[in-house]
Amino acid sequence: MPQHEQHPTTAAPRRAVVTGSAGFIGSHLAHALVQAGTTVIGVDRRDPSSDATTIANLASLRGIPGYHHITADLLNCAIDPLLIDADAVFHLAGIPGVRPSWGPQFSDYLASNVLATHRVLEACTRIGVPRLVVASSSSVYGPTDGGASVEADRPKPASPYAVTKLAEEQLCLAYAERPAGPSVVALRYFTVYGPRQRTDMFTHRALQAALTGQPLRLYGDGHQRRDFTYIDDVVAATIAAATVPTAQGAINVGGGSNASLLEVINIATSLTGRDIQLQQDHARSGDVLLTRADPSRAREVLGWQPRVDLHNGLRAHMQALAAQVPNYSRAA
Ligand code: NAD
Ligand code: UGA
C-alpha cells in the first residue's frame, strides 16, 4: 500500500527551489523535501488564496516550518534572489496537457514551457546553482513501434505540447554544457497519477466517474496504453535526480504499470463497486497509442525503480477522491 506523502528518501538537498509548487507534482515534491529536512522555496503564479485547486494542493504545506511560498510568474519576476544558496532547483512549472495545446493556448505553452525556462536557466547560471532537475515528458517520444522507449531514441513529438517539452529539456541540456551552467537532469515523467492529480487527466476522471456515477468521456476505443506512474515514485526519482552527484542528461521515470484505459476502468469499477457509464468520443490528435518506458537508466543512474503497482496506486488515489465526494459509500 502506498504511504501517501511518506516518501522514502535517504538524502535530500539542504536548500532547494521548487517551481510549480502549487501544482500536482510540485506540491507533493515540496512536501516530501520539507519532510526530509530541506528548506524549500516554492514558486508558483496561481493565486494561493482563492483558487480551489491551489488551496487543496498547498494545504499540507501551509504554515509548516521549512516551506516558504512565493506567488510569482517566472515570465517576469526577479528569479535571482530566490535561488541564492540553493543546492538544487526543481523546475516543474509549466503548462501541461497534450490535447489543449492545439488551440489558441499554444502561446501560453510556449511562454511557460520555453521562455520561462530560459529565464530560470539564465538565473541559475548567474547565481551558480549546481543542479537543475527539470520535468520533461514521455510525450517527447511520440508514436512508438510498440517497444519500450530508451533515452537515446530519436524524439518525434506528436503534439504542440510535446514540442515545447522537447524544446524545454534540450534548452536545459544546452545550458548544462556552458562553463557556468548548472548540471541538468531532465526527467521524462510518464503519465503521473495519485492524490491531487490534475482534473483534466484520465485517471482522475475515471475514478471520479466511478465514485459519483457521472459519465466518463472516452477518447478513442480505450485500448491506448500508458505507463501509469504513481506520484510517490515520481517524487522519489525527482529527489534522487538532485542528490546523485553523477546524474545528468535525460532519464525516463516510468515503467511500473503499463495498462490500457479499459484496464484502468475495470480497476476503478472493482475498487468502487460501481460501473462506469462511458460516452465514446473520437480519438484526439497528438494522443499516442502507447507509452512504455525503458527504466534501465533510472535504475542504473538513480538507483530508482517504481514501487507502487497500478492497483494499489489507484486504490490510494480513489480513497483521496472519495474523501471529497459527499455521502460516498462503496456500492455493494
Ligand atoms: P500542474 O498544472 O498541476 O502544475 C504546474 C504548475 O506550474 C501550476 O501550478 C502552474 O500555476 C505553474 N506555472 C505554470 N506556468 C508558470 C509560470 N510562468 N510561472 C509560475 N508558475 C507557473 O501540472 P503537473 O501535472 O504537476 O505537471 C508538472 C510538470 O510536470 C509540468 O512541467 C508538466 O509538463 C510535467 N509533466 C507532467 C506529467 C503528468 O503526468 N502530470 C507527465 C510528464 C511531465
Ligand atoms: C499525461 C499528462 O497530461 C501530460 O501533461 C504529460 O506530459 C504526459 O502524461 C506524459 O506522460 O508526458 P496523457 O498520457 O495524455 O498525458 O494522460 P491523460 O491526460 O491522463 O490521457 C491519457 C489517455 O486518456 C489519452 O489517450 C486521452 O485521450 C484519454 N482521455 C483523457 C480520455 O479518454 N478521456 C478523458 O476525459 C481524458
User: Which pLDDT tens digit goes with each residue over 255-309?
Assistant: 889 999 999 999 999 999 999 999 999 999 999 999 999 999 999 999 999 999 9
Which ligand lies nearest the alpha carbon of 162? Answer: 2
Q: Which ligand is nearest to the CA of 51?
A: 1
Contact residues of ligand 1, CB 6 A cut-off: 20, 22-26, 44-46, 73-75, 92-96, 112, 116, 135, 137, 165, 189, 191-192, 198
What's the confidence (pLDDT) of residue 1? 42
Q: What fold characterizes domain 15-322?
A: Rossmann fold (3.40.50)
Number of residues written out for the chain: 332
Instruction: Report the DSSP beta bridge partners of residue 228.
Output: 257
Q: Taking the CB of residue 17, how many other CB atoms lie within 10 A of it?
A: 29
Please state the domain extents for the chain.
15-322
Taking CA atoms only, the protein residue closest to ligand 2 atom 31 is 202
- In tens, the pLDDT along 190-227 reads 999 999 999 999 999 999 999 999 999 999 999 999 99
Ligand 2 binding site (Cβ under 6 Å of any ligand atom): 96-98, 137-139, 189-191, 201-202, 205, 217-219, 224, 226, 261, 284, 287, 291
Per-residue pLDDT band for 7 (boundaries 50, 70, 90) equals very low
Q: For the purposes of burial, counting CB atoms within 10 Å of the CB of 309, is it exposed (0-12), middle (13-18) or buried (19 or more)?
A: middle
Cα distances (Å, whole numbers) of residue 146 to 24, 105, 161, 224, 294? 29, 31, 22, 11, 12
The grid coordinates of residue 213 equal: 456515477
Instruction: Report residue 87's pLDDT band, with 50, 70 and 90 as the boundaries.
Output: very high
The residues with which 88 forms a beta bridge, in sequence order, are 16, 131
User: Does the interface ipTM go beyond 0.95?
Assistant: yes
